[in-house]
């Protein structure tokens, strides 16, 4: 039976083949910095220049990357009725591949956020600490990124989608960062089938099916199997 409501969660493994390392990789962007120094509100308060330079570097790397076959396959899937596409990634590769209505639960590198009034606007290639907000004029710009210790975006939409899911898929995610790591358990409680697509299994026993291999190979094949049915 073809699932009517599909929820897909993607993580860093989806974009690794596009040249964006996962932050837990040995050669990852995060290797030269502790997470506590660049990805928390406290870090931004303590040393905003360091944090802004770090995200300028990440923004440039994401802008130079290109969507891979897995992004394009999920873009095709997103155009079908009943599909909810959620990403933990802060790059825009799914959007650039043509995916529709991607839920960026951790924000986007190409966005700026005013820490004073909450206004959002497209981020420039480099973001100085005194960048004025177009809405209120305050020089309090920060990356529009959900840092550790902050609440992910769009949780109401995500929870509503999980509550009605027939199929939940986790693609290229470590299963270690909550609340996203708990989405599979919510899906199972409502009776959805669950599948993990990853280089290797991350949560034995929590998924009904596990497909292993590079995302650029296994994701298009999985999407083809869904659309063919």
Burial of 115 (0-12, 13-18, 19+ CB in 10 A): middle
Closest CA to 10 of 206, 177, 186, 228: 177
CB 182 within 8 A of CB 26: no
Could you tell me which of 18, 161, 178 has the C-alpha nearest to residue 94? 18
Active site residues: 106
ω into 120 cis (within 30 of 0): no
Alpha-carbon distance of 132 to 149, in angstroms, equals: 25
Spatial neighbors of 47 by CB under 8 A, at least 6 apart, are 37
């Amino acid at each position: 039976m073809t699932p009517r409501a599909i929820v897909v969660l993607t993580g860093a493994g989806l974009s690794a083949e596009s040249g964006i390392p996962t932050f837990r990789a040995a050669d990852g962007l995060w290797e030269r910095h502790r997470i506590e120094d660049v990805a928390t509100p406290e870090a931004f308060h303590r040393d905003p220049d360091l944090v802004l330079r770090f995200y300028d570097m990440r923004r440039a790397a994401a802008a130079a990357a290109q969507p891979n076959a897995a992004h394009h396959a999920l873009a095709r899937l997103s155009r079908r009725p009943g599909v909810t596409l959620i990403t933990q990634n802060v790059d825009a590769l799914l959007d650039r591949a043509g995916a529709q209505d991607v839920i960026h639960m951790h924000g986007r590198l190409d966005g700026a956020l005013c820490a004073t009034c909450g206004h959002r606007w497209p981020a420039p290639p480099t973001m100085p600490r005194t960048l004025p907000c177009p809405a209120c004029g305050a020089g309090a710009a920060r990356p529009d990124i959900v840092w550790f210790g902050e609440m992910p975006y769009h949780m109401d939409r995500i929870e509503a989608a999980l509550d009605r899911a027939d199929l939940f898929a986790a693609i290229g995610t470590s299963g270690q960062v909550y609340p996203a790591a708990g989405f599979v358990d919510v899906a199972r409680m409502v009776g959805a089938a669950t599948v993990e697509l990853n280089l290797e299994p991350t949560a034995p026993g929590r998924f009904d099916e596990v497909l292993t291999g590079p995302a650029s190979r296994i994701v298009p094949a999985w999407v083809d199997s869904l659309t063919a049915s």
